[in-house]
């Protein structure tokens, strides 16, 4: 399913390409799958807003469509 959502014809083709990229390229899908459920999440309408907030509060920014979410340890 992930391979198709990312535009690959097969999982093997997806994995071969994804393994050469930064891990953050699939963070949006990890968020959907619940990988960050143990963390506090702060949503922002845009990535620049999230990055501005991050400068004061820390956290890890995940891009999600046109929005962004700051992930913080609880």
Give the predicted TM-score (pTM) of the model.
0.76
pLDDT in tens, 51-72: 999 999 999 999 998 999 999 9
pLDDT by 10-residue block (mean), the chain, 74 residues: 85 88 87 93 97 96 94 87
Distance CA 63, CA 45 (A): 10
Scored b (16 or more CB within 10 A) or e, 52-74 reads ebbeeeebebbbbeeebbbbeee
């Amino acid at each position: 399913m992930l391979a198709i959502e990312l535009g690959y014809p097969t999982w093997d083709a997806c994995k071969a390409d994804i393994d050469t990229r930064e891990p953050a390229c699939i963070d949006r899908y990890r968020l959907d799958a619940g990988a960050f459920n143990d963390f506090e999440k702060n949503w922002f309408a845009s990535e620049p807003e999230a990055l501005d907030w991050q400068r004061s509060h820390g956290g890890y920014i995940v891009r999600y469509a046109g929005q962004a979410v700051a992930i913080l340890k609880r």
